[in-house]
Structure 1
């Protein structure tokens, strides 16, 4: 949250001329204030259904759903506590209701979608092994990951940021392709 706020604020303060050059209306970016609003997955589903989405409880938010939802917000929004079944096996279950994961996606306004996904990670080896089985993933492919817990672990979290999508949002670009310096294609693995 503070990282995104810091980046947006610094771009506005130090690269305003460049944003004007590319035609970015900065009024939306200026509304980026912390703390960002938060919405639990179950509330997001209800809100989406009221807004006309045909999404059902237990389904992951798609790009169209994110766009519909973000028409209601003029700054980034955290959607938290997704169903554990639709998220990665390594996400820590919510201790209050293990059907949900301690996770969050950060959605950018103006239809840019998810820019960050993160969660608390499972640090207990037995639980991690159980979740691997529940997701029907081949254990042999994840032995290296299990070893990270096998030899000791502590409570921790992690996240990934979609840099291209974040740049597209900050710059107000029409498509994320405009931010990719080297195309990533099936037959092109190196720049």
Structure 2
């Protein structure tokens, strides 16, 4: 299982969240068109330059995407930490690493939905973000499957990766409803649910 998140990563997540919350509150107060990056940075107590280390635009900040930065380097580093784990566990760890913080925050998810309804111009950015995250994660899951002796390169198709990832995301949504559950227990429940589902399907 991946090592506990370091202080530097926690600070980055906190800064990203603070910028997102500042952007959201300003947009609701003044509308997006009348909100500037300088205003967002000032409220978040960061420089405009720091703002661009986390978000490409004020619209992205308003949406408040707090998932892991899915750069090739970030994904490669994570894949190294789960190398050798069974596929189900490795994919659960990937889903939890990328979305764990977000799915645990019901208020943030609700606020994001409300923002998209109030500012329809955000819909395209939201869809583009979801698409890019999905594509990156499917690619990472295929790598996990290719390395797993039970799968291998021939079985690690895009369809298989999407199916396993979909199962993981559904399990994460279900587990995240119980905010009092410890992260390790959530991971354990997710893996157990996936394995149980797969075994039952195999006996049909």
Alignment TM-score > 0.5, same fold: no
Higher relative contact order (CA 8 A, sep 6+): 2
Q: Which has the higher helix share?
A: 2
Q: Which has the higher strand share?
A: 1
- TM-score w.r.t. structure 1 length? 0.26
